[in-house]
Structure 1
Amino acid sequence: MSTLLSPLKIGIIGTGYAAQKRWRSLQTTPATQVVAIASHSLDRCLTLDPHHQAAHYDQWSALLQHRPLDLVIIANANHLHGIIAHAALTTGLHVVCEYPLALDIQLARELVALAQTQQRLLHVEHIELLGSLHQTVRQHLPSLGRPIYAQYTTLSPKQPVSRRWNYHHQEFGFPLMAALSRLNRFVDLFGEVAQVSCQAQFADIPDTPYYRACLCSAQLRFRQGLIATITYGKGEWFSGSERSLIIHGDRGSLSFQGNQGILTQGEQQTPLTLGSRRGVFAKDLQYIVDHLKADAPLYTTAAASCFALEVAQAASDSARLGKTIQLSRNR
């Protein structure tokens, strides 16, 4: 991988929030050059790139044929990620994909194997691991002793909800698969999950595949003994936002509400203030460039993302079947 010439020629598929963050980061990275952008609408391409610095395509398949091209960033609707990643790897391109890698765990595993066969980078973005919250938890986690219980809640209100792919059952995917960072954060901190139980509710829009709100709550039991509850909700059911994380150990606890946290050990409480979440896409990009240019290690692997996706699939199966799902040892 270190034989690539500079700058890296990059194509972006998608023009939404993540693609915009990628575009801005790439503009300030001399080692990269965006040469192509694809969206379902050429007008959306112009919104991202009004000065037409790159070629614009209204089909992702056309962008994959653009030359020269070293790497493609997949940042469009979730249900297309796996299909595009397979086509890009088969074409011989390096791939950076916003999570989830796929909405089908078997396809995700096949993509990891394909990348190894093709000797191409397959990187699944998990910027939650680079952010201040995760780094602060990692720093103080040893102070808690043996982790006993953890709870992570994110609720995002939206009034009204528009009929877009991120409120579409098939295109967004099961919410805890689509919002994979919630599960991946805990897997990174606490290791292998042994069993999953989950409940889910949706405010479906009649006679359509869309919904106005969703709520998922999953209970995980980790092999090391920790029990964790992860709750994710969004849409018209919620009038206020919430982002909270609590971890209890046998020697203390960590709790965060928004950007403020507290480390509690006995009667002693230490305030913790989180830094800004800005700049994490740029950090992720620098890891990618350093890996491709100098074989430097990445901060996460596609295989690790696949395991988090397997946990999410178990949550989906549990909600659908109404029973606890046992996971096999496979890490």
Structure 2
Amino acid sequence: MYNSESPLAQTKVRVGLVGTGNAAKLRAEALLQDPRSHLVAVAGYKPEKTATFAQDYQAEAVDAWQQLVERKDVDLVVISTVNRDHSAIAHAALSQGKHVVVEYPLALDVVEGKELLALAKAQNKLLHVEHIELLGGLHQALKQNLAKVGEIFYVRYSTITPQSPAPRKWTYNHELFGFPLMGALSRLHRLTDLFGTVFTANCHQRYWAIEPEYYQTSFCITQLCFDSGLLAQVVYGKGETLWQSERKFEVHGENGGLIFDGDTGFFIHEGQTTPIEVGTRRGLFAKDTSMVLDHILDGSALYVTPEESLYTLKVAEAAKRAAESGLTIFMKDI
């Protein structure tokens, strides 16, 4: 780990932000609210939108991220833009001696992800992949109550978002978003954080599309067998030909079950249902940002490592290969 006693530890962290979407807005707000950081510059893809965004958050607008990562007055680059570009921006920023925070996924390719971890280590710089799902109320409630159900044999995690008409934006673009469970890596990362390493993956996916680049609906079902013997099913869908929204997490064990439906949780045991309190999802980007600044300035431990995020990316790669081949994929082959 880099030396937290460097001159940077005695001053503000100067930040360059790539992106102007919702995640970037939450990052900018968190950075402005924390006196230990100074948002220096913002880079986006649309000049007018970037200029307005930068003005709103008291920063300088930059024409392109390539210029931002080269600035001498930037210590930390925060990447909050389309998934396709995460790896290239992170590589350039690390090569320029910057700390890097990137919203998941780290990359859409496992090899690129490995290279980024090696580069961060060689440069002695922070590489942090945001996984705020681990900080949220649902995940914390799961961790606190898992022991109640005894030995766990089945988990089902389903997030379905009907959207009609589907927006013609990057989250519905094959190249910009990536394979569904890479682009939405948090669906798998919640499982690997709770249940450990995966043995095999099966996956089926389908798109509804009327043009090559953008689709109207994406639907993906993945089955994971963990080394422990636990079986898990992950359902992820979004778009026009889905009719009922769902955000549900089920844990089934020999002594009971945990059911989280939206923000409501229950423990079921011998015919009795006990409510479980689920904390808020608000303020998680601010919490993540504060922990990053703690880490850079004081060396405090972060809640997730890039190695853990890379492992989940490998699980997503296994699911992708399974969807493409129709075969069961063994994690040892990834």
Q: TM-score range by the shorter chain?
A: over 0.9
| 2:147 aligned partner | 142
| 1:296 aligned partner | 300
| 1:77 aligned partner | 82
| 1:27 aligned partner | 32
Structural mapping, 1:145-224, within 5 Å: 145-206=150-211, 208-224=212-228
Between 1:121-130 and 1:64-73, the stretch displaced more is 64-73
CA distance in 2, matches of 1:129, 1:226: 20
1:262 to 255, 262, 266: 266
CA distance in 2, matches of 1:193, 1:123: 23
| 2:247 aligned partner | 243
| 2:310 aligned partner | 306
Within the alignment, does 1:287 sit opposite 2:287 as a pair? no
The answer for unaligned runs of 5 or more in structure 1 is none
CA distance in 1, matches of 2:81, 2:196: 29
CA distance in 1, matches of 2:84, 2:214: 14
Check the 8 A contact 1:36/1:66 in 2, yes or no. Answer: no
CA distance in 1, matches of 2:47, 2:38: 20
Shift of 1:324: 0.6
Q: Deviations over 1:283-311 (max 9, x none)?
A: 11111011111111110011100000000
Q: 1:37 to 1:146 in 2, by over 3 A?
A: same
Q: 1:50 is paired with a residue of what secondary structure? A: helix
CA distance in 2, matches of 1:168, 1:220: 26
Shift of 1:329: 8.8
CA distance in 2, matches of 1:51, 1:242: 35
Check the 8 A contact 1:46/1:52 in 2, yes or no. Answer: no
The answer for unaligned runs of 5 or more in structure 2 is none
Structural mapping, 1:105-120, within 5 Å: 105-120=110-125
Q: 1:88 to 1:199 in 2, by over 3 A?
A: same
TM-score by length of 1: 0.97
Shift of 1:161: 1.7
1:18 to 11, 17, 23: 23
Report how many residues are paired: 329
CA distance in 1, matches of 2:66, 2:229: 46
Runs of 4+ in 1 over 6 A off after TM superposition: none
| 2:256 aligned partner | 252
2:330 to 302, 326, 329: 326
Identical residues among aligned pairs (%): 44
Q: Deviations over 1:47-97 (max 9, x none)?
A: 423346211112110111223110000011101000110000000000000
CA distance in 2, matches of 1:52, 1:111: 29
Between 1:7-16 and 1:233-242, the stretch displaced more is 233-242
Check the 8 A contact 1:95/1:123 in 2, yes or no. Answer: yes
Cα RMSD over matched residues? 1.3
TM-score by length of 2: 0.96
Q: 2:16 is paired with a residue of what secondary structure? A: strand
